[in-house]
Amino acid sequence: MSGNPIEVAVRVQGLSKNFGTVQAVRNVNFSVSPGDIFGLVGPDGAGKTTIMRMLAGVLSPDAGSIAVDGVDVSANPEQAKLRLSYMPQRFGLYEDLTVAENIFFYGELFSVPRTERIARSKELLEAAGLQAFRRRLAGQLSGGMKQKLGLICALIHTPQVLLLDEPTTGVDPVSRRDFWAILYDLRERGVAIVLSTAYMDEAERCTRLALLHTGEIRLCDTPARIKEAMPGTLLAISSAHPRFLREIIAGKPGVLGTLLMGDRIHVRVDDPARRIPELQILLADQGVGIADIVRAEPGIEDVFVALLGQGNKS
Amino acid sequence: MTMVEPAIIIQGLTKRFQDFTAVDHLDLTINQGEIVGFIGPNGAGKSTTIRMLCGLLQPTEGQAFVAGFNVGRQPEAVREHIGYMSQKFSLYGDLTVRENLRFFGGLYRVPRHDRGERMAFAIAMAGLAGREDVLVRTLASGWKQRLALGCAILHRPPVLFLDEPTSGVEPEARRQFWDLIHELAAGGVTTLVSTHYMDEAEYCNRVALINRGKLVAIGSPSELRGHQLGGELFEMDCAPLGAALKVLTDVPGVEEAAIFGDKLHIVLSAGGITAGDLPGFLGARGIHADPPRRVTPSLEDVFVHLVSGSHETRGAF
């Protein structure tokens, strides 16, 4: 146990960054506590990677400050780097080195003592299911395996703060689920994790989220409270002809939005108690018959669209 | 009504690379105007199948017909009747919108007299009117992706292959994209979407799950969600999650346990521990747990269930 337990692992205040005339990051504020998995969520171009790179100390902000474990990243980058581990989108694996050699290299880079390095490497390789691939060249691994090796290398030292930039891009759902099990394990050991993702379904696994849009944080809270912030209630109606259903329903009174899916539609309404019977009657009148209308659990994407959509849908 | 020929017929399709069978006697029929999702773990054989269907790779065994052409014997005719689009690498950033369209129009040999009309259609579809002379790299991701779709369908292909088409695109734009695909489908265009993202699969009429080169399941998203998981699925709030997961792995009756967001997803089979017993069982081991609630499986739950049973090299992540 070293020192006092910290309450805030990452504190970001008034962070801004411009590239020419593009305001990539605008006055971003957030803090991350040990044991948080903080998600920076948004589409490509929202500013996720720019924020990550500033947190990692590889890009200087134009304004604002970042403290990692109380250390100012701009003033003391070397001190800050000892406390964090950063896995960029394209992690710098040496393709002509083996899996084991890559891990060894990163262990040396972070000055991890030999015995600790060996123990940690064994533990992580087992968790990743990569033991059998220790002698394979990194360049010959599949995309998912490369991502796992990147994470092992980033975790070969035990950081207080772990920064992961879109860590699961291209990784299949089975591996992704297991990848998250590792993150939850680190969380329970008190590591503060900041990760970015463009995938709204993945965002739901974070303990806290910031919804990023054009460089700004639009909403920052737990996934559950973000879902509560969605205006209206989401309903699902199954149909073999969802497109036809939507044509009938879109734009009707109390219908705030519709979404066409493969075998059903989602309808966001203002007042479900009133609108469900109205929709039943409407659909029956149109010859659809008795439709099964059920409440659907909104996803983060539904909230994103409800809050930020330009209302340019019918 | 006249008989409509299926857009894609796959019969016993097999591809071997030396002693490795990437695609193993795959059978699948896709009707005209269907949107079918193709999901499966890394290395399951999805890309190999798609490369064969696009006429880029010769099957070792079996056959497939795309838009009526045999992929092994008439690969060029197949390529003329398909459109292909992936989120990455499809457009030239240093060319304008119009230049990209002109380039792809030439590549796909769109007849000259038809080109103007097709380009106008693509521009209108992508919502790019007034931006024809803008450099593509300066466009927002949603526009880029609709333009890429416009380029892929300039030659009016009856069959469209999409590879993770909406990853990283703004949510609103992404929904507009899927509306376009559904509109094309209503006009008879058949779409095969390969993806790792279950939310993309939800936009498909049917979803085919392949693992180790074989078709493991196929059905509408709702049908797949109704799939037997080997028990009933419960969701439970508990802390610490990691410790709960470890404890539950070896308990009789617990078929599967996985962290799902800030909760656990647990599949319980009959005859073992019951949902009602779980909080007490975990409580005795120092883990706080709320009473579990029954939930409907997500597509991801089904995917993981169907795939993980046969994953030999699988570790804890």
Per residue in B121-161, pLDDT (tens digit) is: 999 988 899 999 999 998 888 888 889 999 999 999 999 99
Residue range B8-225 forms a domain whose CATH class is alpha beta
- Contact (CB, 8 A) for A181 and B259: yes
- Contact (CB, 8 A) for A210 and A30: yes
Q: Look at A241-255, A266-280, A283-297 and tell me which has the smallest mean pLDDT.
A: A283-297
Radius of gyration of chain A measured on its C-alpha atoms: 23
- Contact (CB, 8 A) for B315 and A130: yes
Is the CB of B42 less than 8 angstroms away from the CB of A172? yes
Q: Which residues of B touch A259 (CB under 8 A)?
A: 175
A71 three-class SS: strand
From the CB of residue A276, how many other CB atoms can be counted at a distance below 10 Å?
Answer: 19
Matching CATH number, B232-295, of 3.40.50.720, 3.90.180.10, 3.30.70.100, 3.30.1600.10: 3.30.70.100
Cα of A149 to nearest chain B Cα, Å: 11
List, edge to edge, every strand of the sheet that includes A63-68.
A22-32, A10-19, A63-68, A71-72
pLDDT at residue A6 tops 80: no
Domains of chain A (ranges; CATH) run 10-225 (3.40.50.300), 231-297 (3.30.70.100)
- Contact (CB, 8 A) for B192 and B71: no
CB of B240 less than 8 A from some CB of A: yes
Rounded to whole angstroms, the Cα distance separating A101 from B299 reads 38
pLDDT at residue B261 tops 70: no
**What stretches of A208-296 adopt beta strand conformation (E)?**
208-213, 216-221, 233-238, 255-260, 264-269, 293-295
CB of B203 less than 8 A from some CB of A: yes
Q: What is the pLDDT of residue A154?
A: 87
Q: Which residues of B touch A304 (CB under 8 A)?
A: 171-172
CB of A209 less than 8 A from some CB of B: no
pLDDT at residue B75 tops 60: yes
- Contact (CB, 8 A) for A162 and A130: no
CB of A260 less than 8 A from some CB of B: yes
- Contact (CB, 8 A) for A280 and A291: yes
Q: Which of B173, B179, B199 sits opposite A200 (nearest CB)?
A: B199
Q: Which of B174, B179, B313 sits opposite A260 (nearest CB)?
A: B179
ipTM: 0.81
Angle, CA of B176, B178 and B181, to the nearest 5°? 115
- Contact (CB, 8 A) for B71 and B64: yes
Is the CB of A188 less than 8 angstroms away from the CB of B240? yes
From the CB of residue B239, how many other CB atoms can be counted at a distance below 10 Å?
Answer: 14
- Contact (CB, 8 A) for A199 and A260: no
CB of B179 less than 8 A from some CB of A: yes
Cα of B74 to nearest chain A Cα, Å: 31
List, edge to edge, every strand of the sheet that includes B82-86.
B82-86, B159-163, B190-194, B35-39, B206-211, B214-219
Q: Which of B169, B220, B307 sits opposite A174 (nearest CB)?
A: B307
Domain ranges in chain B? Answer: 8-225, 232-295
Band (pLDDT 50/70/90 cuts) for residue B87 is low
Ramachandran category for residue A309: left, alpha or beta (phi over 0 → left; psi -120 to 50 → alpha): beta
Q: Which of B43, B198, B314 sits opposite A173 (nearest CB)?
A: B198
Is the CB of B186 less than 8 angstroms away from the CB of A174? no
CB of A200 less than 8 A from some CB of B: yes
Q: Residue B213 CA to chain centroid, in angstroms? A: 15
From the CB of residue A4, how many other CB atoms can be counted at a distance below 10 Å?
Answer: 6
A205 three-class SS: coil
